[in-house]
Amino acid sequence: MTEDDITQHLIDMLGGGHFEVADDNTFFFHGADNKFPFATIVTKDNDFDSASKLNRPGVFRLNVGVGKETFRALFGEQPPVDIDYTALDRLMPHPVYAKMHWVSVINPSAATFETVKPLLTEARNLLIARDKSA
C-alpha cells in the first residue's frame, strides 16, 4: 500500500468529511470543523515524535484513534514497553499517543491494511458520535 492508496481509501469513506495536508503530513477529519483528526499519515520525524524513524526513504506511518476497548483488545491493559516502533507492516500502539488510544502501522501491506480498515471506520464513528452528543 502506498500513501496515495490509503489517502484514496480514506477520501472514499469520508462522505462529507475532508483531509488537509500540512508539512507533508495528512490529517483526516469527519466534518468541516478540523477539531481533531480520526486518522493521520505522518511522513517524517519531528521534535516530539522520532521513535519510528520516519526520515527513512519511502517510510510513512498511518495513525488511527480507536476506542479504549478496541485498544485494550489489541494490546492488553498495559501495552508492552519493548516495542520496536521502527518495524514495518506491524500494528502497534502509537509511540506518543498510545495513552489516547491511538494505534499506528508503518508502511502497511495490503493484508495489514485490511485489518486496519475497521479501525478507521471505528475512529471516524467515534468522532461523529462525540460531536452529536456535544
* pLDDT tens track for 42-94: 999 998 899 999 999 999 999 999 999 999 999 998 888 899 999 999 999 99
Total domains, the chain: 1
3-class DSSP state for residue 30? coil
The CATH number for 71's domain is: 3.90.1150
β 102-106/61-65 pair status: antiparallel
CA–CA separation, 74 vs 1, rounded Å?
A: 22
Using one digit for the tens of pLDDT, what is the confidence trace for 22-32? 999 999 998 77
Single pTM value for the model: 0.95
Domain containing 125 equals 3-133
Residue 132: band (very low, low, confident or very high) from pLDDT cuts 50, 70, 90 = confident
Q: Which of 94, 95, 127 is nearest to 28 (CA)?
A: 127
